[in-house]
Chain A
Amino acid sequence: MKSKSYKIIFAMLALFCLLVCIVTYWLYQHNEDGNRFECYSLTTFPKAPPVGNITLLTHFILNQNDEGVITFTGENDNPESSFQVSREIHFNYHWMKNGKLNLTNINIVINQSDTTKNDVFKMNVFDFQRQTVHMIIHRFKNSYVLGSLSSPISICVDKDSML
């Protein structure tokens, strides 16, 4: 009898632990999947000459392995000092409270067609030449409001998201 009761207690304990782990992992996956996305935005940064308006197509990806990429492609509209932007920002990310995202281990990959000086990009678009970049991301339907700590910067649309 005693042996049987131990068997039952042990089996129930094992079952309980298994259930807790399964539920936890399901919630984790469900939650994490919602925090990984891919979206596009088209943003113009109006600037005074000689830079002119810079229009960039931004492809923003947060992968499942806590790594992300932002791809910028575009150009300015000043024919006298035109330049092309084609660069990728690779980073690791970590979610904080209230939609705050910390980007670390930032690596800037500048493609051959990119003719923008780093300082111009840094001054007129974003400054990624820092140890950590803080972003604020909020969701609206199939879109994400991407911004700095100061203000929203663009509306990034997840075109694959079905509503």
Chain B
Amino acid sequence: MKYLIDNIVAFDDKNGLLENKMSGSSVVLSTTAIRILAYLLKNQGVVLSREEFFETVWGAYGQDASNNSLNQYLSVLRKAFRNVGLDHEIIITVTKQGFLIKANVEYEEEDLLALESDFFSSVEPDAESDDLYLNVAMTNVDAVQETQSTDESHSIETFTLNKLSFSKKFYWVKAFAILMLLCTIAFVYQYWPSSSKAIPTVLLHTIGKVDTCPVFTFYENSEEMIQTKIDIARKMTLDHKLPCIPNTIYIFQPDDLFVYTNKGRVLLSRCTTRKDDPLHGFAGCKDIYIYEK
């Protein structure tokens, strides 16, 4: 990610180059110094505690550090800023709280998205904390630092810009979260299995036998209809040469018109069962479909 600090010094956290755009003077930072400065820049205006530095800069990489190490790297960074022409204090020590960066920081356009999705930047300054930062900046900045900005109006302007930058960052984080939720809803709406797509299962109801083969229909029948239908089925097996053979069943489904007038639609199917049991499914079926008009 590339940063522009106070509109004059560019910093690239990929190669650690800190460069004055006007004079061309530059400094290359070490890996740890890069992490510290990137962490400060991503959280500009926020007071970062020593523990947060230890966790983010060293702990996340399986390393340990002491207060002295942090002080040394901060000193290196302050010196680096001076070497590239930023004479006023950029890194501020806040007594008993930690450190913050006080500068106008801009990001290159292509890096904004990365910044928005970066957890480190997902900090929303509320009114209370804004006031705190401002008070900190105005009153509690440690004078121990070698130099300090004497221009208070510049400080206020800088923090206002930082506040706007935070609001913008948090806006994008919220927008991303909402977009994620909307995408999830759209995905669920598109793919949630609808019961309308399920293929219904039919039940077979026995109505008797043709020779030794049981005859089933898809619907339940009254006693009278059972006898009528089994008679029709028996006749059809003879007429259409579909005799009962071992391990087979008949499925017989006439419509009412066919039952009463012998005209209409009827399906007679002789199915070979698996394992002698229709409940285990069929090995194959031979169907006769008649549509008498």
Residues of chain B within 8 A (CB-CB) of A76 are: none
Residues of chain A within 8 A (CB-CB) of B197 are: 31-32, 35, 95
Residues of chain A within 8 A (CB-CB) of B150 are: none
A96 touches B196 (CB 8 A): yes
Q: Does B96 contact A (CB under 8 A)?
A: no
Q: Does B263 contact A (CB under 8 A)?
A: no
A137 touches B199 (CB 8 A): yes
Q: Does A86 contact B (CB under 8 A)?
A: no
A154 touches B289 (CB 8 A): yes
- A115-144 vs B, CB cutoff 8 Å, 1 = contact: the mask equals 000000000000000000000011111111
Taking CB as reference atom, which chain B residue is nearest A141? B281
Taking CB as reference atom, which chain A residue is nearest B289? A153
Q: Given contacts A27-B193, A42-B286, is CB(A140)–CB(B269) below 8 Å? A: no
Identify the A interface with B (CB < 8 A): 2-3, 6-7, 10, 13-14, 17, 20-21, 24-25, 27-28, 30-32, 34-35, 40-46, 95-99, 137-145, 147, 150-157, 159, 161, 163
A151 touches B198 (CB 8 A): no
Residues of chain B within 8 A (CB-CB) of A99 are: 199-200
> What CA separation (Å) do A13 and B192 show in the bound complex?
20
Identify the B interface with A (CB < 8 A): 43, 46, 119-120, 122-124, 126, 129, 173, 177, 180-181, 183-184, 187-188, 191-193, 196-202, 204, 218, 240, 251, 253, 255, 265-267, 269, 271, 274, 278-291
> What CA separation (Å) do A43 and B177 show in the bound complex?
57
A155 touches B184 (CB 8 A): no
Q: Given contacts A3-B123, A98-B200, A154-B267, is CB(A28)–CB(B285) below 8 Å? A: no
Q: Which of B43, B253, B267, B287 gathers the greatest number of chain A CB atoms within 10 Å? A: B287
B202 touches A150 (CB 8 A): no
Residues of chain B within 8 A (CB-CB) of A34 are: 198-199
B285 touches A138 (CB 8 A): no
B129 touches A2 (CB 8 A): yes
A-B contact pairs, 25 of them (CB 8 A): A2-B126, A6-B119, A6-B124, A7-B119, A7-B122, A10-B122, A17-B180, A24-B192, A28-B191, A42-B286, A44-B286, A45-B289, A46-B288, A95-B196, A98-B196, A99-B199, A138-B199, A138-B202, A139-B201, A141-B282, A151-B253, A154-B267, A157-B281, A157-B285, A163-B281
Residues of chain B within 8 A (CB-CB) of A44 are: 240, 286-289
Least distance between A143 CB and chain B CB atoms (Å): 5
Task: Give me the 3 closest cross-chain CB pairs, A-B, nearest first.
Answer: A31-B193, A141-B281, A142-B281
Q: Which of A45, A151, A157, A161 gathers the greatest number of chain B CB atoms within 10 Å? A: A151
Residues of chain B within 8 A (CB-CB) of A163 are: 274, 280-281
A140 touches B193 (CB 8 A): no
B123 touches A24 (CB 8 A): no
Residues of chain A within 8 A (CB-CB) of B286 are: 42-44
Taking CB as reference atom, which chain B residue is nearest A31? B193
A143 touches B285 (CB 8 A): yes
